[in-house]
Amino acid sequence: MKKKSNKIQRIRGFALALVFIGMGIMYLGVFFREYQIIFSLFLIVGLLPILLSFVIYFWVGMISTRTVTVQCPNCEKYTKILGHVDFCQHCKEPLTIDKELEGKDFSLDYNVDHRRNEAIEEIKKESAENNQTK
Ligand SMILES: [Zn+2]
């Protein structure tokens, strides 16, 4: 099941979860403290997700500079959009920076370049056909 949420918030949440997973693994090592090797193994394995979360936090900081800040038409607050479609940070309204996709059914497919181009092509074709029948 896909949760509706802003991408940057989701990545941050994932990084936070990794910290807790790492701490959990390290904590489990305490039960094996009589066995030096297993204990240190738990510490090392527990350290990996924590390190990974630092990398993710760093990466979020980098991609944050590439986000587009827009005013949400629904709640009128400012929100950061990552990629071509994203959810509002405040009211979870799906937002897009592509004019062609405005008012269309929201799909995360639009974050994939070739799928988005396909969708835009289809929309253009549809509206061309509609114009012909008029
Ligand atoms: Zn909003």
Instruction: Calculate how far, in angstroms, residue 12's C-alpha sits from the geometric centre of ligand 1.
Output: 19
User: 86 — alpha (psi -120 to 50), left (phi > 0) or beta?
Assistant: beta
- Find, among 55, 30, 54, the residue nearest to 42 by Cα: 30
Instruction: Calculate how far, in angstroms, residue 81's C-alpha sits from the geometric centre of ligand 1.
Output: 11
Task: Tell me the C-alpha distance between 70 and 129, whole Å.
Answer: 32
pTM exceeding the 0.85 threshold for the entire prediction: no
Instruction: Calculate how far, in angstroms, residue 9's C-alpha sits from the geometric centre of ligand 1.
Output: 14
Instruction: Calculate how far, in angstroms, residue 57's C-alpha sits from the geometric centre of ligand 1.
Output: 24
Q: pLDDT (tens digit, 9 = 90+) per residue, 89-134?
A: 899 888 888 877 777 777 777 888 888 888 888 888 888 888 876 6
Are 68 and 76 spatial neighbours (Cβ–Cβ below 8 Å)? no
Helix (H, G, I), strand (E, B) or coil at 69: strand
Instruction: Calculate how far, in angstroms, residue 6's C-alpha sits from the geometric centre of ligand 1.
Output: 10
pLDDT in the model for residue 33: 81
For residue 83 the two structure tokens come to 């990629």
The structure tokens 């181009």 sit at 117
Instruction: Calculate how far, in angstroms, residue 130's C-alpha sits from the geometric centre of ligand 1.
Output: 32
The strand pairing partners of 80, in sequence order, are 69
Mean pLDDT (the chain) is 86
- Bigger pLDDT: 52 vs 85: 52
CA 34 from chain center: how many Å?
42
